[in-house]
Structure 1
Amino acid sequence: MKNLKITALLAVMAFSPFYANVFPTEGTSFVKVLADAVKWKAETIDVGTIPQGKPKLIRFEFTNTSSKPIIIENVAPSCGCTTADYTKTPILPGKKGFVEASYNAANAGAFVKTVNVTTSDSKTPKALTFKGTVAAS
């Protein structure tokens, strides 16, 4: 019974307003800092109509807006019909880098594909999207 009272008291203290202001809430948020480190020229590109069976190169460009170099650690296309290339060297503050996707459409019709990019600045992948329509050949 004594252990139950102690546990209940600790639970009440854990959720009390005393602990509500442990972390500062003013200033720049952590999420905003991560979001501003890489500024993409476009996160979605509409490629329009492309021919079936002929690779289409899509280029996503970005600027390093942070105060430290950024390295692209991983680029993962959403399907096997897409290959990717990217800036392999560190991108210095204020400089530009790129991610390229080469899409080879086997089927006619509308499509939406993504390329997930992970950088040294954020371990959460950024989804870059390209879309369009494949015209039958």
Structure 2
Amino acid sequence: MSLRATAYALMLGLLCTACGDAAGKRQAAHSDEAAGGAFRTIRIGEEFFDKGATDTIRFGRMHSGEIAQLQFRIANQSERPTAIRSYERNCGCTTLEYAQEPFAPGAARQVAISFDSRGTRGWQLKTVEIRLAGGTKPLKLFVEAEVE
């Protein structure tokens, strides 16, 4: 085999391996998100403290009576430290677990959100408002689930 053919075969093999790994990683990340294992990140910048922000947390399909939990991170991309002060919810079926310690600029705080589907059926849309220290408006989360 010539040097050129060997180099071509090696490059083709590396390309196929790299593409296979990328597809596998994408699939694994998707699977982890569905299982609640991947950390989604909600980024808050300087403008958040005056305007607030919104985002959606999707639980996907659930069976009635199931209690599901997803974890995500709030990343502080502002120039000031902040902390989660409190949260309000429009339904007792959602709960939030978080550390109350401040987090510095550039740091992130892990948060767990739970949805209790007992007594519900069909498409569910709930809201959770997270109040951060220094912010005038909340981080409003829309919590979505399809309960069978």
The bucket for the TM-score relative to the shorter chain is 0.5 to 0.7
Matches of 1:60 and 1:98, distance apart in 2:
6
Alignment-mate amino acid for residue 111 of structure 1:
Q
What secondary structure sits across from 1:130 in the alignment? Answer: strand
Q: Which runs of 5+ in 1 are unaligned?
A: 1-31
- What are the residue-to-residue correspondences of 1:1-137 with 2, within 5 Å? 33-35=46-48, 43-105=55-117, 106-135=119-148
Count residues with an aligned counterpart: 101
Q: CA RMSD in A?
A: 2.3
Greater per-residue helix proportion: 2
Separation in structure 2 between the aligned mates of residue 54 and residue 45 of structure 1, nearest angstrom: 17
Task: Give 4+ residue runs of structure 1 displaced > 6 Å after superposition.
Answer: none
State the Cα deviation string for residues 19-78 of structure 1 (Å, max 9, x = none).
xxxxxxxxxxxxx833279xx8x8212221012112111333221112221111111122
- Alpha-carbon distance change, 116 to 88 in structure 1, aligned in 2, over 3 angstroms: same
State the SS of the aligned residue for 1:33. Answer: coil
Q: What percent identity do the matched residue pairs reach? A: 27
Q: Is the 8 A contact 1:46 1:131 kept in 2?
A: yes
Say if 1:34 and 1:121, in contact at 8 Å, map to a contact too.
Answer: no
Gaps of 5+ in 2: 1-44
CA distance in structure 1 between the aligned counterparts of 2:115 and 2:83, rounded to whole angstroms? 24
Larger Cα-atom Rg: 1
| TM-score, length of structure 1 as denominator length | 0.64
Give the 3 Å change call, closer, same or farther, for CA 98–104 of structure 1 in structure 2: same
Q: Give the TM-score taking structure 2 as reference length.
A: 0.60
